[in-house]
């Protein structure tokens, strides 16, 4: 086959896949996506002792999965275990693990996030879920260290998604979640001047959206939906125009009354 013919075939293949992708997105914008069955699947949740992690465990418990709960606090993790059993889970396993310490992860599972991949690749089956943040999409004043960690989490998860796709491991799914501030206590005191388009999110709402995104195998989940528009604007607005918009929406003030997580005595 000549190089010109090959180039033409590649171009037509690209256009076919591109148009099919657009039509599929349009179709599922109108018609709800089918949800996969996760009954009997092993679901590992880090930070399961409280907040979003605990709520995810309780929601997954109703879906009859095998739950593996990790948390640094063994007592709160056990509480989640008991609640999950009451919610319908029959197989729940708890492990005390500080996910910020590499050696602790090795001790509990002999594996890290990346090391789970070989068995997933061998079986061409699995679903990786990364909880990043809106602070992993755009920088936030007075939140530089947190933004750095969330940008890293987003970039890592996205690159793993692209690697598995490029290698043809279509059975391995990825969901990357980027919510605005959630009322879990971590960002106690933070505020928003535009609650209609950029509200402080309720935990139950966020968890419902995450579960739905996993079951529908959605790759990106930004909450609220206004964040999709923010990324679109960021891609082409002049810097001064973007800063003017941030000033108008009082984005620079969201951390002014930040208190953080209140520790219990």
Give me the active site residues, please. Answer: 146
143 secondary structure, DSSP code: -
Q: How many Cβ atoms from other residues are within 10 Å of residue 39's Cβ?
A: 8
Question: How far from the centroid of its chain's Cα atoms is residue 205's Cα?
Answer: 14
Kindly state the tokens that stand for 175: 């969901």
Kindly state the tokens that stand for 193: 């001047």
* CA distance linking residue 183 with residue 131, whole number of Å: 15
CB contact at 8 A, 258 and 187: yes
Kindly state the tokens that stand for 198: 């950029």
Q: How many CA atoms lie within 13 A of 55 on its CB side?
A: 15
* Residue 98: its H or E element: none
Q: How far separated are the first and last CA of the chain, in Å rounded?
A: 74
* CA distance linking residue 127 with residue 169, whole number of Å: 11
Handedness of CA 138, 144, 148, 153 (dihedral sign): negative
Question: How far from the centroid of its chain's Cα atoms is residue 152's Cα?
Answer: 13
């Amino acid at each position: 086959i000549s190089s010109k013919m090959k180039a033409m075939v590649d171009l037509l293949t690209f256009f076919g896949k591109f148009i099919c992708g657009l039509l599929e997105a349009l179709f599922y914008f109108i018609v709800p996506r089918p949800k996969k069955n996760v009954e009997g699947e092993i679901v590992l949740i880090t930070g399961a002792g409280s907040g979003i992690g605990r709520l995810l465990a309780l929601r997954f418990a109703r879906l009859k999965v095998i739950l593996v709960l990790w948390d640094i606090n063994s007592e709160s993790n056990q509480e989640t275990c008991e609640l999950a059993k009451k919610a319908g889970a029959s197989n729940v396993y708890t492990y005390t693990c500080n996910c910020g310490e590499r050696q602790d992860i090795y001790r509990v599972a002999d594996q890290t996030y990346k090391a789970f991949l070989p068995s997933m690749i061998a079986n061409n089956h699995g679903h990786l879920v990364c909880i990043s943040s809106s602070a992993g999409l755009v920088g936030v004043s007075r939140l530089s260290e947190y933004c750095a960690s969330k940008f890293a989490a987003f970039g890592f998860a996205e690159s793993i998604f692209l690697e598995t796709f490029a290698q043809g491991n279509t059975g391995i799914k990825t969901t990357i979640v980027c919510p605005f501030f959630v009322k879990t206590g971590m960002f106690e005191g933070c505020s928003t001047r535009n609650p209609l388009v950029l509200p402080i999110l309720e935990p139950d709402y966020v968890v419902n959206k995450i579960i739905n995104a996993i079951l529908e195998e959605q790759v990106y989940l930004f909450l609220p939906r206004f964040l999709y528009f923010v990324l679109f604007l960021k891609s082409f607005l002049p810097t001064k125009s973007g800063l003017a918009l941030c000033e108008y929406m009082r984005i620079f003030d969201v951390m002014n009354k930040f208190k953080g997580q209140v520790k219990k005595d």
